[in-house]
Structure 1
Amino acid sequence: MDAFVLIGSFLLLIVLGMPVAYALGLSALIGAFWIDIPFSAMMIQVAGGVSKFSLLAIPFFVLAGAIMAEGGMSRRLIAFAGVLVGFVRGGLSLVNIVASTFFGAISGSSVADTASVGSVMIPEMVKKGYPREFSTAVTVSGSVQALLTPPSHNSVLYSLAAGGSVSIAALFMAGILPGLLMSAALMALCMVFARRRNYPKGKVIPLREALKICVEATWGLMTLVIILGGILSGVFTATESAAIAVLWAFFVTMFIYRDYRWRDLPKLMHRTIRTVSIVMMLIGFAASFGYMLTLMQIPAQITATFMALSDNPTMILLYINIMLLILGTMMDMAPLILILTPILLPVVTSIGVDPVHFGMIMLVNLGIGLITPPVGAVLFVGAAVGKVSIEATIKALLPFYLALFLVLMAVTYIPAISLWLPGLVL
C-alpha cells in the first residue's frame, strides 16, 4: 500500500500535467504524511540532495557547452569532419555523425548537438540532394551519443543517484567505447543507404585548406583533452575539470574564434542559469522521493519481484531494458535517472552487473527514448530544426532505431565494451 500511495500519487500528478520536479516533491510529501514522517525531515533531504560538491560539475559543463555551441564551434567541427569523411559516397551523412561525435564530446548534450549541428548540416544535405526527412533522422540519431561520451551531464546525475558510489571519472571513460560503437553503427547504416540510393560524393578538400580547418578545430577539441587529460593524470577531479573547461571554452570562443559578441554573454548566462535551476530543483526533490523509496523498502520489493520472474541474469537484463525503453518514451531522461537508479541498481548488482556497466545500459536506453515519441525532446528539436513533420521524421528514423537497438544489446551483454577502458586507465 505504501508503494501505491507514493508512486501512484506521482503518476497521478504527472497525468494532471504537473512538472516532473514538483510532482516528485509533492508525492514525497504525500508519502511522508502517509507513513507519518515529519515534513522537516523531507526538507532536510531536499537541502542535502543539492548540497554536494560533485554537483558543481553540472552548471560548469552546461555553461562550457553553451559557450562552445554558440561560439562557432559546431561550424568548425563540421568542417573538420568533412576533411575526414566528406569525400566518400554519402559523405555528408557521415560528416553529420562525425561532427555530432566531436560536438557531443564537448557539449555533453543531445539537444544542443541536434540544434547546433542540425542547423548547419540539414540545409546543406538538402541542398546536395539528400531527402530532408533522412537528413533530420541522421542528425537526431547521431546526437544520442552525446549522452555517453564525456563530459556527459547524465553520467554525473547517475553517479549522484547511485549515492556517489560510482566514480564520475569511471563513467566518463566507460562512455567512450559505447559512444564510438554507436557512431560506427550509424555510419555503416548511412553508407548502405548511400549506395542503395546513390547519394552524392563529396569533394576532396585541398591540403592547405584541410590543414587550416584542422588547426581551427583543434582549439575546440582541446576542451576534451583538457577534461580527460586532467582527470586521468590526477591534476584535477571531474568536478574541477568542469570549471577548467569553462575557462578554456571562454578563452577559445572570445579570443581565438571571436565569432561571439560580448554583449550576448548576459543572455547566455541567463539561459544557463535557468537550465541549471531546473536541474537542481529536480535533484533536490528527487532526493526526498528517493528517501521515501528507501523508507518504504520499495527497491527491495522490486528486486524480489525481478528475481521471482527469473533467476537468469540475461532475462532480467532484458526485462529491465524493455522497461527502460518504454519509460524513456514517456518521461525525460534526468528524472528517470534520479528515480530509477536507486530502484534498479540493487537489482542488477544482485545478479553481478557492475554499477558502471549498468550506467551505460541506462544511458543508452533512455537516450533512445529521447528520440522516440510521445515525449522525445530531441526528436521534437530535430523535427523543428529540419522543418519536417514528426510523422515523417519517425518514419525515416525506423532503420536508425534498429541500429541503436543492436548497439544497446551489445552494450548490455558485452560488459567489456563499457568496462575495458575504465579498467585500463583508472
Structure 2
Amino acid sequence: MTILLIVSLILLLILLNVPVAYAMLGGSLLYFLTNDSFMNETLTQRMISGVESFPLLGIVFFITAGVLMNYTGITRRMLTFAKLVTGHLTGGLAKVNVTMSVLTGGLSGSNVADAAMQSKILVPGMVKKGYAPGFSAALTATSSLITPILPPGIALILYGYVGNVSIGDLFIAGIIPGLLLAVFLLIYVHFAAKKRGFEQVKEERPKITDVLVASKDALLALLLPIIIIGGIRLGAFSPTEAGAIAVVYALIIGFFIYREMTFKDLWLALKESILIIATVMIIIAAGTAFGWILTLEQVPQALTSSITSLINHPILFLLIIFVFLLIVGMFIEGNVMLIILTPIFIPMLETYGIDPVHFGIFFILCLSIGTITPPIGTIMFTTAAITKVKIEVFIKEVIPFWLLLIVLTLVIIFIPAISLWLPELLS
C-alpha cells in the first residue's frame, strides 16, 4: 500500500510538471517520513551512497572530456573530414549528419550534447541546401542516438554501475549496434533525399590529398575511442581511469597540439561540465534512493516471480519488455529509467538465460527511442527548440525514423551475436 501511495505521488508531481528527479525525491521523502523505522537522515544517506562511487567518476570525466573537445577545434576538423568523405554523395549533408554522430559519439558520450551541437552547426546548412527543416531536425535527433550506444556512452556506464555489469564489455558490445544504426540511417537518408529532391546539386568529389589532410587533422579525435577500448581490454586502466585519460588527452590537444584552447575556454568548459554533471548526479541520487525503497519493499522479487510464472521464453520476455519500455519511455527520462529499472530487470535475466551485456544494449536502445517520442522526449525538445521546428512537424518527420529504430531493436533481440560477438572475441 505504501509503494502505491509513493508511486501515485510521483506520478502526480510529474503531471504537475515537476522534474522527474525531484518527483522521485518527493516520493522517497514521503516514504521515510511515514516509516518510523528510519531516521530523518536516512534519505540523505541513501542519496549520497548513490553518487559516492568510483565507477561513477567515469561519467564525470567523460562528460568533461566531451565538453572540452568542443573547445579544442576537434569538432570543426571532424566536420571537415565528414564533409569530404560523404558530402559529395546523394543526400550529402544528411550523410554528414550521420557520420558526425559516429565520430563525435566516441567523444561526448551524451546524446543531448551531440544533438544540440549538430542542431547548431549542421541543420542551418541543411536547410540552406533545400532540406525540409523538420526532416533535418528529426534526422539530427535520431542520429544522436548513436552516441549512447557507442563507447564511452554515459548510459553504458550507468547501466554497468547499477547492474554490476562489466563496463568494458558494454563499451565493446555497443560498437557493432552503433555502427549498424549508422548504416540504417545512411541507407534511409539516401533514398529519402532521392525521393524528396533534397540537395540535387552535388559538390565535387574531393581530391585524395584533401581527404588525407582532413584525415590527419581528425586522426587525434578518432584515436581517442581506440585508446579507451584498447587500454581497458589490455588491462592498462579501468573505465573510470579511461575517463581521466580522456580529459588529459583533450587538454593536451587543445593547449599544445591544435593550440586553439585558451584559459578562458577552459573556464567556460568547466562551468558547462559542472552544470551537466550536476543534473546527471541529481538524477542518480534520486533514483538510487527510490531504487533502495523498491528493493527494501521486495518489489523486484515480486515482479520477477510474477513475470517468470507467466512468460517462459526469453524472446517473448524481451518483446514484452520492449513494448513496456517504448510506452514508459514516452513519459520518463532515460537515465532515470536506467537507475530504477536495472535492479528490477537484472534478477530476471538469469532466469531466462539472457546475457546482461546483450540486454544492456537492447535496454539502452529502447530508452533512446523514448528521447525522440512525445510527450517528454528530451532530444525531441532540444532539437526542436534549437532549430525552431514545431513539435507537430517534428513528429510527422520522425515517424520513419521510429520505424527504423524499432526494426533495429528487433534485429538485436533476435540476433544476440550483434552485441555479443566482439566482447566474446576480445575476451
Residue 347 of structure 1: aligned partner: 348
Take 2:385 and 2:44, find their aligned partners in 1: how far apart are those partners?
40
Residue 90 of structure 2: aligned partner: 89
Identity, in percent, stands at: 39
TM superposition score normalised by structure 1:
0.94
User: Is 1:176 aligned with 2:175?
Assistant: yes
Q: 1:258 to 1:389 in 2, by over 3 A?
A: farther
Would you say the 8 A contact 2:61–2:243 is kept in 1?
yes
Residue 191 of structure 1: aligned partner: 190
Q: 1:352 to 1:6 in 2, by over 3 A?
A: farther
Would you say the 8 A contact 1:223–1:249 is kept in 2?
no
Q: Deviations over 1:369-418 (max 9, x none)?
A: 11111111111121223232121122111111111111111112211111
Would you say the 8 A contact 1:90–1:190 is kept in 2?
yes
Select between 177-186 and 109-118 the one with higher mean Cα deviation: 109-118
The gaps in structure 2 that reach 5 residues or longer are none
Take 1:98 and 1:131, find their aligned partners in 2: how far apart are those partners?
19
Residue 285 of structure 1: aligned partner: 286
Residue 367 of structure 1: aligned partner: 368
The one-letter code matched in structure 1 to 2:354 is V
Take 2:409 and 2:184, find their aligned partners in 1: how far apart are those partners?
11
What's the CA shift for 1:425?
1.1
**Cα RMSD between the aligned structures?**
1.8
Would you say the 8 A contact 1:24–1:289 is kept in 2?
yes
The one-letter code matched in structure 2 to 1:181 is L
Q: 1:70 to 1:392 in 2, by over 3 A?
A: farther
The gaps in structure 1 that reach 5 residues or longer are none
Alignment of 1:220-239 (within 5 A): 220-239=221-240
Q: 1:22 to 1:387 in 2, by over 3 A?
A: closer
Take 2:144 and 2:361, find their aligned partners in 1: how far apart are those partners?
16
User: Is 1:10 aligned with 2:10?
Assistant: yes
Q: Give the secondary-structure state (helix, strand or coil) at the position aligned to 2:375.
A: coil
The one-letter code matched in structure 2 to 1:37 is S
Residue 413 of structure 1: aligned partner: 414
Select between 401-410 and 252-261 the one with higher mean Cα deviation: 252-261
Number of residue pairs matched by the alignment: 424
Take 1:370 and 1:3, find their aligned partners in 2: how far apart are those partners?
27
What's the CA shift for 1:137?
1.7
Take 2:320 and 2:37, find their aligned partners in 1: how far apart are those partners?
34
Would you say the 8 A contact 1:220–1:252 is kept in 2?
no
Would you say the 8 A contact 1:78–1:117 is kept in 2?
no
Q: 1:2 to 1:300 in 2, by over 3 A?
A: farther
Would you say the 8 A contact 2:308–2:351 is kept in 1?
no
Take 1:271 and 1:13, find their aligned partners in 2: how far apart are those partners?
28
The one-letter code matched in structure 1 to 2:330 is T
User: Is 1:31 aligned with 2:31?
Assistant: yes
Residue 423 of structure 1: aligned partner: 424
Take 1:346 and 1:7, find their aligned partners in 2: how far apart are those partners?
22
Q: 1:128 to 1:281 in 2, by over 3 A?
A: closer
Q: Give the secondary-structure state (helix, strand or coil) at the position aligned to 1:54.
A: coil
Would you say the 8 A contact 2:71–2:265 is kept in 1?
no
